[in-house]
Structure 1
Amino acid sequence: MTQQQDPGRLAWADVCRLLAMFGVLLIHISAPIFYDYRNIELNSFLVANALDSIARVSVPLFAMLSGALLLGRDMSKDLGGIVSRVLKVAIPLAFWSVLHVFWINYWTGKPLDVANAFAQALQGPVMYHLWFVYMTIGVYILLPILQPISVALLASERLAAYFFGIWFVINAVTVYYPIDIINHLTLTSFLNWPGYFLLGFYLIRSDILSKVPVWCSAIVFFLASLATFLISWHLNSLSSTPNETAFLYFSPNVLIAACAAFHMIRKIKVTAVLIRPVAFMSSIVFPVYFMHLLVIDLIKAGMFGFTLSLASMSTAISILSLSLSTFAVCLVLAALTRVIPYSAKLVG
């Protein structure tokens, strides 16, 4: 029933990490255009909406990949490892939170206070993209609990169907059809992002998708992303304020698209000459995620010695060129930090 190979550090996983990171860039660079949809041409909104719809799978891909690589092991004798794993994320989070607070305070004329920056980080994300890092720490804390659940899901198809069915109803169905009683049952907190981690593990280790051809997953991804695009367009045409319901990471359309994308990426074969560079770029995605919003602002300000005339470009070209430029600059900066001994512990 199952394929018991250890995913380990595989080339497809490195590709998945890089594609997910680029997708996050597309989302964040498309967002200002999407939010300004009442003041721009319909064409520009549709382009930003389309790129955002395609890229929405990125954050679920990060979570599913983490689950695929982390779950399925016996951690009952290694609970101390959870502390070190959490610290590997928490220390860079603290470092980058301070930098982001300093950046915000610099432009608003507020004093640069390290203690205050740490205090803000303890209360929650100081920048909106950092929510994912806090969530990841929370799931890491739950890993000893999730591990036996992952093994049990793999051992029983009925249990897996029950678990993922409940998870889908609680998180996905309620996006468009709220079910009030679910809030009173208080099921949503635990059965939330940990479900994506477990889903990634299950899709890799079980044979549920073994007979599904890549072209079939490609069609599913296209149709689900198209649904995201059309639903988003429809909801925003009826709303006076930006409506992101279709973009929610647990919406059925995004969830299905993420599963299809995960299956497609799983089948990617990386040529031997690219394995090492792809692996290295993948290894520095964490600091890229932390710094990318800062780099976007710096590129727009021409601080790297080049400027992008975004206003003179089409919407698609401007989003893609800024995304590619940001990705390239972030990768270079992250690579340079690796020259400094032990820097990975601080910057990620």
Structure 2
Amino acid sequence: MTQQQDSGRLAWADMCRLIAMYGVLVIHISAPIFYDYRNIDLSSFLVANALDSIARVSVPLFAMLSGALLLGRNMSKGMGGVVSRILKVAIPLLFWSVLHVFWLNYGTGKLLDIPSALSQALQGPVMYHLWFVYMTIGVYILLPVLQPISVALLSSKRLVAYFFGLWFLVNSVTIYFPTDIINHLTLTSFLKWPGYFLLGFYLSRSEVFGKVSIWCSAAVFIFASVTTFLVSWRLNSMSPVPVEKAFEYFSPNVLIASCAAFHMIRQIRLSAILVRPVAFLSSIVFPVYFMHLLVIDLIKAGLFGFTLNLASMSTFTAIISLSLCTFAICLLLAAMTRVVPYTSKLIG
């Protein structure tokens, strides 16, 4: 277990946040190729499918990391700053929602209507990647309920087996073997993403998993990711439309890969010279998440003063080049916002 710290920060947590963010970029850049699989050559589809399969753990990693850092606290002296946590996420969500609405309307010549944009944001995500932020707010609302559950999990192996066994059956097994009665029992909503938060907490505190070697976790991650790749290839080869079933974040293959990746990242040990830079980059991941789709569009449009000739590149090179370029620009822009005091409250 890595205990490197810089001003109270865990080095492995900072690395986990950066790795997860880059993985999200790979997913979103690979997706258009994956969805266009009937109009492209097989090799391009397989490359996009492979990279997406490896990166699928990214979103669960974000959820598991939040659970590892937030859960396990005593709630007897208050509600744990629930309102402040919600506002810390909700205010940037509204800001970026307005910005995204402006960008979506820019090409049509429509004027920015801020009240209308805020109204859209209050109804739901104005851009598809923002669903995760809404989900995070929902889990924050549940934190006072999840805290005692997290503490109870450490004190009862039977509860661990029951809770995570039920969570796996309800959310993972049913992806490949749908069961109508599960929906009628209305178990899925509460047991969905909060389960990943609790799983991250338990994996970070359990002595049992602390004994698992990084090589064992690496082998499990590779096996589960290859399974995702093969199942996705098989399902799509038999379907006239794209099938994302193997990519779903609660599929058994992605869930197992996510647990293995989380355990591997927890073993990361940074050299002392890297701890502070990584901590700073980790601290600006939130605005990077908000802006990355916008930056991808701006890069493709050549609005940063350069162009990437993606059409002349191989599929692998194009995805990696665009994702690295996007990541670098997003980090730079997010870092620049930190020059102005208190911008983090608005931008994230």
Aligned counterparts, 1:84-163, within 5 A: 84-163=84-163
Q: Give the distance between the partners of 1:184 and 1:156, measured in 2 at CA.
A: 29
Residue 47 (str. 1) matches residue 41 (str. 2): no
Q: Which residue of 1 aligns with 2:257?
A: 257
CA apart distance, 1:76: 3.4
Q: Which residue of 1 aligns with 2:238?
A: 238
Q: Which residue of 2 aligns with 1:228?
A: 228
Residue 204 (str. 1) matches residue 186 (str. 2): no
Q: Give the distance between the partners of 1:298 and 1:78, measured in 2 at CA.
A: 45
Aligned counterparts, 1:58-97, within 5 A: 58-79=58-79, 81-97=81-97
Q: Give the distance between the partners of 1:142 and 1:294, measured in 2 at CA.
A: 31
CA apart distance, 1:305: 1.4
Q: Give the distance between the partners of 2:107 and 2:14, measured in 1 at CA.
A: 36
Q: Give the distance between the partners of 1:175 and 1:301, measured in 2 at CA.
A: 38
Native 8 Å contact 1:72 1:201 kept in 2? yes
Residue 274 (str. 1) matches residue 274 (str. 2): yes
Residue 299 (str. 1) matches residue 299 (str. 2): yes
Q: Give the distance between the partners of 1:303 and 1:224, measured in 2 at CA.
A: 39
Native 8 Å contact 1:76 1:144 kept in 2? no
Partner of 2:81, secondary structure, is helix
Native 8 Å contact 1:65 1:200 kept in 2? yes
Partner of 1:209, secondary structure, is helix
Q: Rate the CA distance shift 1:75–1:6 in 2: closer, same or farther, 3 A.
A: farther
Q: Give the distance between the partners of 1:332 and 1:181, measured in 2 at CA.
A: 49
Q: Quick one: which amino acid aligns to residue 238 of structure 1?
A: M
CA apart distance, 1:6: 12
Q: Give the distance between the partners of 1:302 and 1:77, measured in 2 at CA.
A: 53
Greater shift after overlay, 255-264 or 75-84? 75-84
CA apart distance, 1:110: 2.5
Greater shift after overlay, 25-34 or 300-309? 300-309
Greater shift after overlay, 68-77 or 35-44? 68-77
Alignment size in residue pairs: 345
Unpaired runs of 5+ residues, structure 2, are none
Aligned counterparts, 1:302-341, within 5 A: 302-341=302-341
CA apart distance, 1:206: 1.1
Q: Which residue of 1 aligns with 2:36?
A: 36
Partner of 2:211, secondary structure, is coil
CA apart distance, 1:81: 1.2
Native 8 Å contact 2:80 2:144 kept in 1? no
CA apart distance, 1:77: 2.3
Q: If the length of structure 1 is used for normalisation, what is the TM-score?
A: 0.97
Native 8 Å contact 1:68 1:201 kept in 2? yes
Q: Give the distance between the partners of 2:142 and 2:18, measured in 1 at CA.
A: 26
Q: Give the distance between the partners of 1:66 and 1:53, measured in 2 at CA.
A: 22
CA apart distance, 1:9: 2.2
Native 8 Å contact 1:22 1:323 kept in 2? yes
Q: Give the distance between the partners of 2:79 and 2:68, measured in 1 at CA.
A: 19
Q: Which residue of 2 aligns with 1:346?
A: 346
Alpha-carbon deviations, 1:245-267, whole Å to 9, x = none?
Answer: 00000000000000000000000
Q: Rate the CA distance shift 1:191–1:6 in 2: closer, same or farther, 3 A.
A: farther
Native 8 Å contact 1:105 1:112 kept in 2? yes
Greater shift after overlay, 70-79 or 18-27? 70-79
